[in-house]
């Protein structure tokens, strides 16, 4: 049959990747069986069909998803991804990862994720708006500031968050800013959200450079992925004195031995959607002789084969599931330091938490107050992950996983099983 009909998801995708990492960690630090049962069964998996009137008058139906993985530690929190690769399995894996990431940062959130299988670049702005509003309308009884809070991820930005907030608020008949994070400032968005995910990566790199005795001033860094996370990271890294020698997008990489003029490159990319020039294939960036390699593109970017070409002394995984287990094992075996996504990729979630707290109170902080609180929480998470890894004589990923699982376990135990 060749009709473009809905077909049941066959691809377990990132859900399988989550289970694999969970199983590995349980060998080091066993958990109470009840918690394992909870964590291996997402609380709620929703698939919705979204009819959208296209600009030519025809109706197209898109598949949307929302998964709440676990709520032991608080309301669910997670991004909305608009990308052709979105499946239920991918969404479930990302939701589980949010449960753990929130626990690493000790935030009172459970984990969720959502998205629509679509290439937003192929929709007109009006089509995109209709799709996002319909997605929100389908989920309206399942989301809310104390139930499930949505935020940006691949393919979504503050414009999209504003549409979700407006659709939810219009349906309820009252303005509810706390249902989404990553909103425009005029709608209750926080100061310091735009670049938070990238700033978090830069602060973490700086802290680990200090701990390892690695260079910072003049050190060379290559950044895979030049979007919201990679772009903001590159800017902050340059301000800290690092030399950003290469950045890449899915189309190509730009390389400059003496360091790129990051602000100019970013302004060009934001205005045109492409880098000013392509000096390398995106794959070649991974093999550059640099001090630090930052992964800020997609999951599975560095597998066992690609890891063999890495020359960096340290890899910072900002993208969720950026490294495959084989890629990580190879790097660690070669003595390359790896800072895992549960820590490196937490800046966006942390800023979302600060936004949500302000929305609930309808009392907004200055940029200085937000930055101060942000930096304090990043430093605390780094210290706690390092302490856990040291106590168990293990790598940072296992340390982060154990820290998170212990926290979820404690909340699950205290809440008990209803009814």
| Residue entry with tokens 């302490």 | 387
Q: Is residue 320 a contact point for ligand NAD (CB under 6 A)?
A: yes
CA dihedral 233, 320, 160, 223 (to 10 degrees): 30
Q: Is residue 181 a contact point for ligand NAD (CB under 6 A)?
A: no
Q: Is residue 224 a contact point for ligand NAD (CB under 6 A)?
A: yes
- Cβ(104)–Cβ(346) under 8 Å? yes
Task: State which of residues 25, 248, 313, 409 lies at the interface with ligand NAD (CB under 6 A).
Answer: 248
Q: Which residues contact 329 (CB under 8 A, 6 or more apart)?
A: 304
SS3 396: helix
- CA-to-CA distance for 168 and 170, rounded, in angstroms? 6
Q: Is residue 348 a contact point for ligand NAD (CB under 6 A)?
A: yes
- CA-to-CA distance for 319 and 340, rounded, in angstroms? 9
Nearest approach in angstroms of CB 404 to ligand NAD is 15
Residues 136-175 that bind ligand NAD (CB under 6 A): 152-155
Contacts with ligand NAD: how many residues (CB under 6 A)?
24
SS3 81: strand
Q: Is residue 296 a contact point for ligand NAD (CB under 6 A)?
A: yes
Task: State which of residues 162, 318, 331, 339 lies at the interface with ligand NAD (CB under 6 A).
Answer: 318
Residues 388-407 that bind ligand NAD (CB under 6 A): none
Residue nearest to ligand NAD (CB): 227
Q: Which stretch binds ligand NAD (CB under 6 A): 169-177, 227-235, 377-385, 402-410?
A: 227-235
Give the closest residue to 168 by CA, choosing from 157, 183, 159, 179. 179
Task: State which of residues 136, 238, 249, 324 lies at the interface with ligand NAD (CB under 6 A).
Answer: 249
User: Residue 270 or 390: which CB sits closer to ligand NAD?
Assistant: 270
User: Residue 152 or 178: which CB sits closer to ligand NAD?
Assistant: 152
What single DSSP character describes residue 288? S
Task: State which of residues 297, 310, 331, 381 lies at the interface with ligand NAD (CB under 6 A).
Answer: 297
Nearest approach in angstroms of CB 180 to ligand NAD is 13
Q: Is residue 225 a contact point for ligand NAD (CB under 6 A)?
A: yes
**Neighbouring-strand partners of residue 116:** 64, 82
- Tell me the two tokens of residue 160: 């999209």
Q: What angle do the packed helices 262-272 and 228-239 form, to 10 degrees?
A: 160
Task: State which of residues 160, 197, 204, 290 lies at the interface with ligand NAD (CB under 6 A).
Answer: 197
Give the closest residue to 183 by CA, choosing from 199, 194, 197, 172. 194
Q: Which residues contact 74 (CB under 8 A, 6 or more apart)?
A: 102, 107, 108, 109, 110
Q: Which stretch binds ligand NAD (CB under 6 A): 63-71, 183-191, 242-250, 409-417?
A: 242-250
User: Residue 31 or 154: which CB sits closer to ligand NAD?
Assistant: 154
Task: State which of residues 227, 327, 340, 399 lies at the interface with ligand NAD (CB under 6 A).
Answer: 227
- Cβ(229)–Cβ(318) under 8 Å? yes
Nearest approach in angstroms of CB 82 to ligand NAD is 9
- CA-to-CA distance for 77 and 71, rounded, in angstroms? 9
What single DSSP character describes residue 74? S
**Residue ranges that bind ligand NAD, judged by CB under 6 A:** 152-155, 197, 224-230, 248-250, 282, 296-298, 318-320, 345, 348
């Amino acid at each position: 049959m060749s009709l473009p009909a809905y077909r049941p998801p066959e691809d377990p995708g990132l859900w399988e990747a989550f289970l694999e990492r969970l199983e590995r960690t349980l060998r080091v630090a066993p958990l109470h069986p009840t918690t394992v049962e909870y964590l291996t069964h997402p609380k709620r998996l929703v698939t919705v069909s979204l009819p959208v009137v296209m600009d030519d008058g025809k109706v197209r139906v898109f598949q949307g998803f929302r998964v709440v993985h676990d709520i032991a530690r608080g309301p669910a929190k997670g991004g909305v991804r608009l990308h052709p690769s979105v499946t239920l399995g991918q969404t479930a894996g990302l939701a589980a990862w949010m449960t753990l990431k929130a626990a690493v940062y000790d935030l009172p959130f459970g984990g969720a994720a959502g998205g629509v299988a679509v290439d937003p670049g192929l929709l007109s702005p009006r089509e995109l708006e209709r799709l996002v509003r319909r997605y929100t309308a389908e989920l309206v009884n399942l989301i809310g500031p104390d139930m499930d809070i949505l935020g940006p991820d691949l393919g979504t930005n503050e414009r999209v968050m504003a549409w979700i907030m407006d659709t939810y608020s219009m349906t309820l008949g009252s303005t509810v800013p706390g249902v989404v994070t990553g909103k425009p400032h005029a709608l209750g968005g926080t100061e310091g959200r735009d670049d938070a995910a990238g700033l978090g990566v830069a602060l973490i790199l700086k802290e680990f450079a200090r701990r390892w005795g690695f260079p910072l001033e003049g050190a060379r860094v290559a950044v895979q992925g030049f979007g919201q996370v990679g772009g903001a990271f590159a800017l902050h890294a340059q301000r800290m004195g690092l030399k950003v020698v290469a950045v890449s997008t899915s189309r190509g990489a730009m390389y400059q031995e003496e360091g790129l003029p990051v602000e100019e490159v970013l302004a060009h990319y934001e205005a045109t959607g492409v880098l000013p020039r392509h000096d390398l294939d995106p794959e070649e960036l991974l093999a550059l002789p640099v001090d630090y390699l930052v992964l800020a593109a997609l999951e599975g970017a560095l597998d066992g084969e690609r890891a063999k070409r890495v020359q960096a002394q340290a890899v910072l995984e900002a993208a969720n599931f950026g490294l495959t287990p084989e890629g990580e094992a190879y790097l660690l075996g070669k003595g390359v330091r790896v800072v895992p996504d549960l820590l490196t990729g937490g800046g966006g979630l942390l800023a979302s938490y600060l936004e949500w707290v302000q929305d609930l109170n309808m009392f907004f902080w200055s940029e200085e107050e937000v930055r101060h609180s942000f930096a304090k929480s990043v430093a605390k998470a780094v210290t706690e992950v390092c302490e856990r890894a040291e106590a168990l004589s293990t790598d940072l990923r296992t340390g982060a996983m154990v820290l998170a699982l212990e926290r979820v376990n404690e909340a699950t135990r205290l809440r008990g099983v209803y009814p």
